[in-house]
Amino acid sequence: MLALDTATPAVTAGVVELLPEQPPRLLAQRVTVNAKAHGELLTPHLREAMAEAGHRLSELDAIVVGSGPGPFTGLRVGLATAAALGQALNRPVYPVPTPDAIALDAVALGTHTGTPLLVATDARRKEVYWAAYDAAGRRTDGPHVDRPADVLPKLPPVTHAAGEGARIYAETFALPVVDATYPSPTSLVAAAADELLSGARPAALTPLYLRRPDAVEPAGRKRVTK
Amino acid sequence: MTDRLILGIESSCDETGVGIVRLGPDGALELLADEVASSVEEHARFGGVVPEVASRAHLEAMVPTMRRAVEQAGIALSDIHSVAVTAGPGLAGALLVGVAAAKAYAAALDKPLYGVNHLAGHVAADTLQHGPLPKRCVALLVSGGHSQLLLVEGLADRITEIGSTVDDAAGEAYDKVARLLDLPYPGGPPIDRLAKQGNGCAIAFPRGLTGPRDSKYDFSFSGLKTSVARWVEKQERAGEEIPLADVAASFQEAVADVLTAKAIRACKDLGVDTLVISGGVAANSRLSGLAAERCAAAGIGLRVPKPRLCTDNGAMIAALGAHLVAAGAKPSPMDLSTVPGLPVGTVQIR
Ligand SMILES: [Zn+2]
């Protein structure tokens, strides 16, 4: 499996082995945290990871890609890359909500076993993308986009938080922040494991934008002069 | 050497284009596929291209457009020899989708990638219809996004900008005047239609930057647009009917007059005997008509590709890619960046 994510400042590419009844195993990965480099680095990263894993792209069985939510420009790089790879290699591409993978990373840390969790990523403009998870890392609410202070009244009871948004707005959330900031390739694959193993038909590769484009319709005819 | 198939991907503005060109052993180009998905209708109510709307549309359209192009060409993606993609100039978010996809296609197929200049692509488009360019020619690129005069001395490496617009692109002026006249977006086709029923000499709109001390090859359309607006408002205030067809024809005449006069002057000054006109506005009937008249009078050969090749498409990028491959250019690196302000002198990002 090839796992890609560009919904956070991390440019993530990893090669993961997935066998039935076993947790996904990381073979190689390349991750660079640079919110401006998704377009440049994602393909070089995935090629290097494949080379280190000792496989050719044509040997892949499937591709898993984080579908966001994330700041739009970077988010689209992962999806465009995954879609084109899937088409050229004739392999299925499975979208996974990015916070689902971060939640599984948080659960895997084992520091807060058995209690629910908030995942918040940076949505810029002083907002966060957020979702709530149960103790097993299953999503119970979200993803939504809100100002951190507006999340609190909507938030189901949780005991800890993960993701970069949780870190940036730690004061507002007043929750212990665990060390799961960006989605790992293994958790991206884990989040899609059931579909991958059953060979289910992948969902449409639609990014979770959560926001409408900023655009205003002009009111009436435009006056050029005063 | 056998035939080589070059894939071209374009996403710099509101068209998602995929083209496939066959490069023969003798350097001849044959267009096998030219598929375009446009988001122009989604932008119409905003009166101009909304970058985020365009970027979203590119992502949705990329794979289906590729599928149609491959079917149209009757090939398999694995038959592709090289992948060319617009790396700039254009809208940052829009370019990024095409380049990300192009890198993935190149990586998956294990083929070289060429990140190329959109403007040079417009010139290369003409070679798909009219064959190789002469050693030297002048190109006039006019569209909603660009208005440029170029000296082309080699498609693969020697393109020099000799003039450009100092404010609006010609197509932008069309869009703005169309809105003023309550015509739909994009403004080019409706103004062209309306102008055919009007008199281009009815109103003497100004010709920007044509004074003796003005820059010889640069354009300015902002003053023209303002002048049209003033004229229309003056009529309205006086309670007069607006002669829409005459306004459209006179505006169009001013645009075509300046563009062709400067292009022909550049040809004469530089001792060039061929003028290429490309870009969306090249389809304008008055521009091509007046250019044909004036080129004939000046003994200059005029090349205008058919409208389908003039507007943004993947075929022009595939054509430029083919010229680069034929010239033995080295591929671009896989960590290639998009360059929204890429100057036309940079034909390929190396
Ligand atoms: Zn163009």
Residues B18 and B161 in one domain: no
Per-chain mean pLDDT for chain B = 95
Phi and psi torsions of B339, nearest 5°: -130, 95
Q: Does domain A2-97+183-198 have CATH number 1.10.510.10?
A: no
Residues B177 and B287 in one domain: yes
- For residue B80, the CA-to-ligand 1 centroid distance in Å is 24
Quick: pLDDT tens for B37-57.
999 888 988 888 899 999 999
- Closest chain A residue to B50 measured between Cα atoms? A215
User: Does residue B48 fall inside a structural domain?
Assistant: yes
- Whether B216 shows a pLDDT value over 70: the answer reads yes
- For residue B90, the CA-to-ligand 1 centroid distance in Å is 8
Question: Domain span at residue B252?
Answer: 137-304
Contact B226 A225 (CB under 8 A): yes
User: Does residue B115 fall inside a structural domain?
Assistant: yes
Residue B202's pLDDT is: 93
CA pair distance B169, B92, nearest whole angstrom:
18
Residues B319 and B261 in one domain: no
Is B145 annotated to bind ligand?
A: yes
Residue B296's pLDDT is: 97
User: Does residue B20 fall inside a structural domain?
Assistant: yes
Using CB atoms, which residue from A47, A85, A222 is nearest to B179? A222
Residues B323 and B285 in one domain: no
- C-alpha distances in Å from residue B335, one per residue of A47, B101, B186, B329: 11, 13, 35, 17
**pTM, 2 dp:** 0.94
Percentage of residues of chain B with pLDDT beyond 70: 100
User: Does residue B297 fall inside a structural domain?
Assistant: yes
Chain center to CA of B24: 25
Using CB atoms, which residue from B98, B180, B335 is nearest to A224? B180
User: Does residue B99 fall inside a structural domain?
Assistant: yes
Quick: pLDDT tens for A77-115.
999 999 999 999 999 999 999 999 999 999 999 888 889
Residues B300 and B314 in one domain: no
Residues B168 and B248 in one domain: yes
Q: Same CATH topology for A2-97+183-198 and A99-173?
A: yes
CA pair distance B166, B145, nearest whole angstrom:
13
Q: Is the distance from CB of A78 to CB of A38 less than 8 angstroms?
A: yes
How confident is the model over B252-258, as a mean pLDDT?
96
Residue A180's pLDDT is: 96
∠ Cα B6 B12 B16 (to 5°): 65
CA pair distance B171, B164, nearest whole angstrom:
13
Residues B52 and B155 in one domain: no
Level-2 CATH architecture, domain A99-173: 2-Layer Sandwich (3.30)
- Whether B148 shows a pLDDT value over 60: the answer reads yes
How confident is the model over B202-222, as a mean pLDDT?
92
**Cβ neighbourhood burial of B114 (10 Å; 0-12, 13-18, 19+):** buried
Residues B70 and B122 in one domain: yes
Contact A76 B97 (CB under 8 A): yes
Chain A contact probe: residue of B35, B251, B335 with most A CBs at under 10 A: B335
Q: Is the distance from CB of A210 to CB of A35 less than 8 angstroms?
A: no
- What number of other Cβ atoms are within 10 A of residue A63's Cβ? 27
- Whether B11 shows a pLDDT value over 50: the answer reads yes
Quick: pLDDT tens for B82-104.
999 999 999 999 999 999 999 99
Chain A contact probe: residue of B45, B59, B78 with most A CBs at under 10 A: B59
Q: Could you tell me the two tokens for B12? A: 């710099």
Chain A residues with beta carbon closer than 8 angstroms to that of B62: 80, 83-84
User: Does residue B332 fall inside a structural domain?
Assistant: no
Q: What is the pLDDT tens value at each position of chain A, 226 positions in all?
A: 999 999 999 999 999 999 999 999 999 999 999 999 999 999 999 999 999 999 999 999 999 999 999 987 899 999 999 999 999 999 999 999 999 999 999 999 988 888 999 999 999 999 999 999 999 999 999 999 999 999 999 999 999 999 999 999 999 999 999 999 999 999 999 999 999 999 999 999 999 999 988 766 665 544 444 3
CATH number, domain of B317, equals 3.30.420.40
Residues B182 and B297 in one domain: yes
Chain B contact probe: residue of A63, A77, A206 with most B CBs at under 10 A: A77
Number of domains in chain B: 2
Contact B229 A85 (CB under 8 A): no
Residues B299 and B314 in one domain: no
User: Does residue B339 fall inside a structural domain?
Assistant: no
- For residue B142, the CA-to-ligand 1 centroid distance in Å is 8
Residue A217's pLDDT is: 66
User: Does residue B194 fall inside a structural domain?
Assistant: yes
- For residue A171, the CA-to-ligand 1 centroid distance in Å is 49
Give me the residue spans of the domains in chain A. 2-97+183-198, 99-173
∠ Cα A47 A50 A54 (to 5°): 135
- What letter does residue B144 receive in the DSSP assignment? S
Residues B171 and B299 in one domain: yes
Using CB atoms, which residue from B58, B180, B230 is nearest to A222? B180
Quick: pLDDT tens for B306-330.
999 999 999 999 999 999 999 999 9
Residues B158 and B292 in one domain: yes
Contact B100 A81 (CB under 8 A): yes
